[in-house]
A and B are shown apart, each in its own frame.
Chain A
Amino acid sequence: MDIERRNNVTVAGNPRGRTVVLAHGFGCDQNMWRLTVPALARDHRVVLFDYVGSGRSDPSAFSEERYGSLEGYARDVVEVCEALDLRDAVFVGHSVSAMTGVLAADAAPERIGALVMVAPSPRYVDDEGYRGGFSREDIDELLASLESNYLGWSSATAPMIMGNPERPELGEELTNSFCATDPDMARVFARTTFLSDSRDDLKKVTVPTLVLECAQDVVAPREVGAFVHRAIPGSTLVTLDATGHCPHLSAPEATNEAITGFLAGLR
């Protein structure tokens, strides 16, 4: 199978630099990193991809069984690393993808040599002695919200997803469609993301790790950032003066600075 096509892999930046893999979270696709890539491109080789079921990945590769667990998404990461024969790459994962990176680094330690976790959460639903920020009912509400939006979106976004090479404004089209995913696949990703519990997996992390959290994040509250930081010995926690769950979009300079600073400190 052509993994690069399956996961819509794009490679940018400095081919002689250390490779940084940027992995999007639930909701959108690799375009989420649009403001991050320029900051990394000078010194690093930057690899972007879409998880199967997101963005411009190959929808025929999707299976509910595989992508019903984070391991399925982690396999995407490992397979992309293998396809490009990456070694000792730095994996930057947003939100649930931070945990996907943890699983991938454990499965293929020779491929991933450092982790940057952007607004990570190992568990979104509250548990005894743990505050993830959400109840099970909240998650059901999100799934309903997804559904009601796709009802309104489907006819409008379908032509954009299909693509139209004759249209010159292709770049714009990309950003227009980047949150538009097949609703059935999005539902699977949402379930997998928000019902996952990867707290025990944090123990497996042995590589240098940067935890980036936002001061005001309605998806991953501060307690969660602290939890991740505590669970990974030797990790660095940076709290960005940013609101929302996507600091790489809402506070790109601060986010880029934190990531490049961490990269510079790696041997």
Chain B
Amino acid sequence: MMCRTGRESGPYGADHENREEAPAAAFAALLEDSAEELYENAPCGYLSTLMDGTVAKVNATLLDWLGLERGAVVGRMRFTDLLTVGGRLYHETHFAPLLRMRGEIGGIALEMKRSDGGRMPVLVSSVVKRGDGGDPLLIRTTVFDARDRRAYEEELLLARRTAEQARRQAEADRARLQEALAVLQRSLLPDVLPTIPGLETAAHYRTASPDRLGGDFYDVFPLDGKRWAFFLGDVCGKGPEAAAVTSLTRYTLRTAALHDPDPTAVLTTLNKVLHERYTAGDPRYCTVVFGIVEPDGETGRADVRLASGGHPPALVLRADGHVGRLPTPGGLLVGILPTAPFAVATTTLDPGDTLLLHTDGLTEARTGRDRTTLYGDEALLAFAADHAGEPPDALIKALSRLLDGFGDGLDDDTALLALGVPARPAPGSTTKNTA
């Protein structure tokens, strides 16, 4: 604030003399405004109480606000008598202890009772006046009208509650959505792999993000008493649309295999279904390996016949440490053309041999310090060579640790499926699903 003191010529030209009179009159009024007058009619309430709260002095402003007569208050009421019950409790549990401790307290929001039954929001500050010996004599209190402030605060409180409510709702929605996604995701994968006599199986599935449904899938299921079907694939895209295609793909493969388990026939059926279903406007397709495995209890070997539609070739890990691809050249993406050729490959697994299927999330993981190099097929081949001869469970665990090591370099979902003949044929078989 700017205060003009004394005589000082301003830039007012001719008005100069007239303007001199107003401050003079104001000064005169100020001189007549005694301390007592200021106390009584100050724009805030004043109150002095004894240490037990008994009101010893109160100004006209406060009496006027509360609609009380001086005679009814001074010596007759305590400060807490002027407060609403809630304010009184707050006074006793917070205000009074703090004032006792510190000798002063400021800006406490309380409500005072008015004689007409209304209430008046106020801000209260108090100090303890001490005698020469330091002993407390009385409490001086200033009361500010806080009606406007309280109205504003209530708006703030309301806004905060609304925001808080919205936040909780959003968090609950998000949790529910994640749970729904997780359930849906699990429905696209088998809970456990079936037990296959003379064969060991293991699988692993890793989503790149818990918020997103993945597009990778795999399954193993019995065809008749002797043969089992298996498949692993990758639907183009992610999210709910991809999940819908995954679901359709998975059930189509299983149903088709029951009619005619020949891998080419199964993939041809899937190609028809996907192509018809999604050809209009939004083409959806997948890459997939579908195969049949037939373990022979007598020889301890297993014959594999598989077909691939545009999927990375399966790896065969031999017990002797040799690792090779099972090439399926020329197989086309499934669902993209009305008719598509699919390449077939066969192999025989001897004891200790393992067949490994994977999706490209593994080979396309970004590696290196700057995360720009892709892991690649050759690196996978070398990794597999180090683990040749290990049972499927150990192989999948090793690959899972490899995925861990990629950290945030893993952009895409990854599915792994391994089928192996036990090194020493044992009665029954073991099955493990590490997904």
Contacts and interface: CB of A to CB of B under 8 A. Distances in A.
B96 A244 contact: yes
Give the interface residue-count category, chain B: 20 to 34
Contact of A179 (B94, B110, B156): B94
B153 A218 contact: no
Interface in B88-128: 88-90, 92-94, 96-98, 100-102, 107-111, 121
Interface in A139-165: 139-149, 151-152
Majority secondary structure of chain B interface residues (helix, strand, loop or mixed): helix
A145 B52 contact: no
B84 interface: yes
A27 interface: yes
Give the interface residue-count category, chain A: 35 or more
Interface string B139-171: 000000000001001001100000000000000
B153 A246 contact: no
Contacts of B85: 134-135, 138, 141-142
Contacts of B78: 216, 243
Contacts of A216: 52, 78
Interface in A107-133: none
Contacts, number: 103
A236 B166 CA distance: 53
19 contacts: A28-B98, A95-B93, A134-B85, A138-B89, A142-B89, A144-B86, A145-B110, A147-B157, A149-B90, A152-B109, A179-B94, A179-B97, A219-B88, A219-B89, A219-B92, A243-B53, A244-B96, A245-B92, A249-B96
A147 B110 CA distance: 11
Contacts of A49: none
Nearest to B136: A250
Nearest to B160: A151
Nearest to A194: B89
A245 B90 contact: no
Nearest to B87: A145
Contacts of A32: 97
B172 interface: no
A81 B348 CA distance: 72
Given A141-B85, A246-B96, 18 more contacts: A27-B93, A27-B97, A143-B86, A145-B86, A145-B90, A147-B157, A151-B109, A151-B153, A152-B109, A178-B98, A179-B97, A194-B89, A216-B78, A218-B89, A244-B52, A249-B96, A249-B101, A250-B51
A141 B98 CA distance: 21
Interface of A: 25-28, 31-32, 34, 95, 134-135, 138-149, 151-152, 175-176, 178-179, 194, 216, 218-219, 243-246, 249-250
A26 B102 CA distance: 19
B80 interface: yes
A246 B89 CA distance: 12
Given A145-B109, A146-B90, A148-B109, A175 B102 contact: yes
B102 A176 contact: yes
B93 A245 contact: yes
A68 B141 CA distance: 36
Contacts of A135: 85
